[in-house]
Structure 1
Amino acid sequence: MLRSECLEFEVVPERCLKNSSVEFHIGTPINQVITMLQLNTRILHGIKFTYSKKDPFRRDISIHLENNGIWLIFDARSQLLKIFSEPGAEATMDKVEESFGSTHPGAYDESEKVYIQSWRGLSFCFPTTNSNHVEVAPGFGPNLRSLKYDSNSAPTLTKMTIFKGTQLTKNSERLEVPQLAYSGQNRLILAEAVREKERITGMCFLFTTEDKVKMATRGGASNDYELVTLKRTVNFGDHVTRVLATLGAPSKVFYKSDDKMSIHKVGEGRAKETVEPQPHFFFNYFSMGFDILFDFSTKCVIKFVLHTNIPGHYHFGVYNRCEFRVACVSEGEETVLETASKYDDFSSILHSPQPVVISRQSTEDRNPFGATFAYGTRQVVVEVMDNFQIAALTIFAAA
């Protein structure tokens, strides 16, 4: 059990840190964690967000709950949660061993003067620099050590880490989204452009989803869910009903105009004689990281928008990251745009080196992080950040 500024958390090795109000599960997407923090500002505050603007796909993202002593670390590429915790100076080695047991000596870092006791999915860090009566004794291996101390000089815990796998420093196990984070939503694995010769005709989506299965339990039937992987294609011109059957219901439907769904306006007791032009509308699939735009008149697909969820972008935290591969052909040469592609990787296929500036500086739609830049090529518009990373990819039907 971990106590943090009057809060108590249950420690579950290799899985989570939780209490009655919040649960931080390894593998949870960053957007869901941000939402959880926003809903619990009464007990979780003093939040510090850190990321690398220069190299956002290689350096992990961190959220530090400074008043609670908890670090949340997210994998830079997948944006899934790993957990680091600093519980303060209240737990000793004796308390840790009483809770988790001690089956082998720990590792000792001579340069940092730190003793690390670990189990699968869990490790504890005890510095020895402030303890004058601590003796480091050899263990049963080249890096294993044990500590000898009296009851008045027990090393104090400064950091606990929950992680996936057997060793934190050699953690090669792939993070997976826990099933409880699905909540009936799909999770995208890859979005790939579908081509006919040099023309993009649609998008192929590989994703995982929950599938209801019936299981026999003590002679009866009960409903349960299992995760399945599906591969579905949506083409330009597909009707809204087919998209619903293919991908399921969207998280939200958004209309491009403020006068949503108004066929005409009524005033002075009579309808206007002229019919207002009707807005196109988006299906927002936030959990899969993309939008699909439909023509209002035909109710058919005319555009896809894929989001990379880069920190510092106007839409960061709204969408999960969309992993995509979109092949663009220019003058017979193919260039593949991917989620982590940078401007120099695709600048040669752009129609013009001069971008359209997207400022979002209106009172209702202000972006505190500055403008982004839109570049065009055949059937594709690329929105680029000032660090040359792709913020979003818009794919539209060929004329």
Structure 2
Amino acid sequence: MQRSECMEFEVVPERCLKNPSVEFHIGTPINQVITMLQLNTRLLHGIKFTYSKNDPFGRDICIHLSLNGIKLFFDARSQLLKFIEVDNLSKIVLRYCAQVFSEPGAEATMDRVEECFGSTHPGAYDESEKVYVQSWRGLSFCFPTTDSNHVEVSPGFGPNLRSLNYDKDFAPKLTKMTIFKGTQLTKNSEPLEVPQHAYAGQNRLILAEAVRARGRISGMCFLFTTEDKVKMATRGATNDYELVTLKRTVHFGDHVTQVMATLGAPSKVFFKSDDKMSIHKGREKETVEPQPHFFFNYFSMGFDILFDFSTKCVIKFVLHTNIPGHYHFGIYNRCEFRVACESEGEETLLETTSKYDDFSSVLDSPQPVVISRSSSENRNPFGATFAYGTRQVVVEVMDNFHIAALTIFKV
């Protein structure tokens, strides 16, 4: 493969892999990455998406750009980009500080990597995989040592450190490069943070909790981070800004203007195109053109708010878990929620990670309503989901028994 056919990326340790067209930043929400890939289909092909259907909150999500040699791994719970892996050096050009250190036909060796990034302490050696790992903060390189006739592994300065000796004519070539947050890529690595550019004027939800009054759910309390609008207005030409954490409550009956003042403008306003309950209105209503209710879609915070068309007041909340395999996956960021449900004196806490067995005891009926989305323009390739009802709450459940969405309505 010629270099002209490959995309060239700049390596920024602990931060990103980027070029003028696309940028993969550590901490970016998966939905924003998917949108970026969709906008660059001319450049990025052969995209593969893998996830665990049975354990969507426990096993990381991977987007593999197979024709570009790039793998993007997302944290299963937060759905933020956890680390970036380049595993096929024959399909990509890599540079650091304007210096190309790996390209097809001239993949990086240990000497080229050390020349580009500077010397460091002896690396770690994986005896089972026969791989020598050279690391810097936020960056690591893997070199195979399978050619034992020309490569010798010597003890280093610690129990897990090793030095590599090799024949200059048989220098190990780089097989994998990883960009991550912190000093090492482990389960206990530094917490992920959404990068500044990913906010772009949008809010980032931390938690949504149900507010109760007189034994009923009266609204939702939203804890979220947002850009400091006062400092944004005075920052001038600089790109720096500060984030603030806000706690705001929206009640049933709040007017549309109150909601906008509380949460800011929505990502989109969506008008319901049909009313499946109109059959119950009677013959005298047949000639009356129904006015559709409308949603405020807050995609970056993972929820919708439904307003009555006549009163312009809140009548419903819809919270989305953004589980892979659901019809709406990739549209909303994950909504972390806590909603207490009551039934016959029993209270159960519904959370984002709850499964059917956790809340089945408070359901009004074990028989669900099937949501098939079978029409040609609205077809769901992943199959039907199931809606269960309890007091003020409708739970949409996938076939893996995880919650896809939670609808909370006024009674």
How many residues matched?
381
Query: Structure 1, unaligned stretches of length 5 or more?
Result: 260-272
How much has 1:42 moved relative to structure 2?
1.1
CA 1:87 to 1:94, structure 2 compared with 1: closer, same or farther past 3 Å?
farther
Aligned equivalent of 2:178, options 156, 161, 173: 161
Q: Which residue of 1 aligns with 2:375?
A: 362
1:102 paired to 2:119? yes
CA RMSD of aligned residues (A): 2.0
1:134 paired to 2:147? no
How much has 1:390 moved relative to structure 2?
0.1
How much has 1:353 moved relative to structure 2?
0.3
Q: Which residue of 2 aligns with 1:235?
A: 251
Deviates more, 1:282-291 or 1:121-130: 121-130
1:323 paired to 2:336? yes
How much has 1:5 moved relative to structure 2?
5.5
Deviates more, 1:205-214 or 1:105-114: 205-214
Q: Matches of 1:358 and 1:215 in 2, distance apart?
A: 44
How much has 1:43 moved relative to structure 2?
1.1
Deviates more, 1:250-259 or 1:310-319: 250-259
How much has 1:333 moved relative to structure 2?
2.0
How much has 1:332 moved relative to structure 2?
1.9
Q: Matches of 2:203 and 2:233 in 1, distance apart?
A: 26
1:386 paired to 2:402? no
Aligned equivalent of 1:279, options 292, 307, 315: 292
How much has 1:214 moved relative to structure 2?
4.4
Q: Matches of 1:53 and 1:278 in 2, distance apart?
A: 39
Q: Matches of 1:24 and 1:127 in 2, distance apart?
A: 26
* Length-normalised TM-score, structure 2: 0.89
Q: What pairs up with 1:1-399 in 2 under 5 angstroms?
A: 6-82=6-82, 83-88=84-89, 90-130=107-147, 132-214=149-231, 225-257=241-273, 275-398=288-411
Q: Matches of 1:216 and 1:231 in 2, distance apart?
A: 22
How much has 1:255 moved relative to structure 2?
0.5
Deviates more, 1:377-386 or 1:155-164: 155-164
Instruction: Flag as ranges the 4+ runs of structure 1 deviating above 2 A.
Output: 169-172, 212-217, 220-225
How much has 1:7 moved relative to structure 2?
1.0
Secondary structure at the aligned position of 1:176 is classed as coil
Q: Matches of 2:204 and 2:111 in 1, distance apart?
A: 42
Secondary structure at the aligned position of 2:300 is classed as helix
Percent same amino acid at aligned positions? 86
Q: Matches of 2:45 and 2:208 in 1, distance apart?
A: 36
Deviates more, 1:94-103 or 1:11-20: 94-103
Q: Which residue of 2 aligns with 1:267?
A: none
Retained in 2: the 8 A contact 1:327–1:334? yes
Retained in 2: the 8 A contact 1:235–1:301? yes
Retained in 1: the 8 A contact 2:48–2:65? yes
How much has 1:363 moved relative to structure 2?
1.1
Retained in 2: the 8 A contact 1:214–1:222? no
Deviates more, 1:82-91 or 1:322-331: 82-91
Q: Matches of 1:103 and 1:53 in 2, distance apart?
A: 41
Secondary structure at the aligned position of 1:152 is classed as helix
Q: Matches of 2:362 and 2:233 in 1, distance apart?
A: 57
Q: Matches of 1:96 and 1:4 in 2, distance apart?
A: 22
Instruction: Name the structure with the higher helix share.
Output: 2
How much has 1:171 moved relative to structure 2?
3.6
CA 1:357 to 1:221, structure 2 compared with 1: closer, same or farther past 3 Å?
closer
Retained in 1: the 8 A contact 2:204–2:301? yes
Retained in 1: the 8 A contact 2:232–2:241? no
Deviates more, 1:98-107 or 1:128-137: 128-137
The AA in structure 2 aligned to 1:252 is: K
Q: Which residue of 2 aligns with 1:264?
A: none
* Length-normalised TM-score, structure 1: 0.92
Deviates more, 1:19-28 or 1:206-215: 206-215
Query: Structure 2, unaligned stretches of length 5 or more?
Result: 91-106, 276-285
Q: Matches of 2:337 and 2:233 in 1, distance apart?
A: 39
Retained in 2: the 8 A contact 1:213–1:226? no
How much has 1:215 moved relative to structure 2?
9.0
Q: Which residue of 2 aligns with 1:262?
A: none
The AA in structure 2 aligned to 1:309 is: N
The AA in structure 2 aligned to 1:37 is: L
Q: Matches of 1:275 and 1:134 in 2, distance apart?
A: 83
How much has 1:257 moved relative to structure 2?
1.8
Q: Which residue of 1 aligns with 2:281?
A: none
How much has 1:172 moved relative to structure 2?
2.8
Q: Deviations over 1:49-93 (max 9, x none)?
A: 000001000000000000000000000000000212224261111
Q: Deviations over 1:165-203 (max 9, x none)?
A: 111125431111111000100010000000114200000
Q: Matches of 1:126 and 1:134 in 2, distance apart?
A: 11
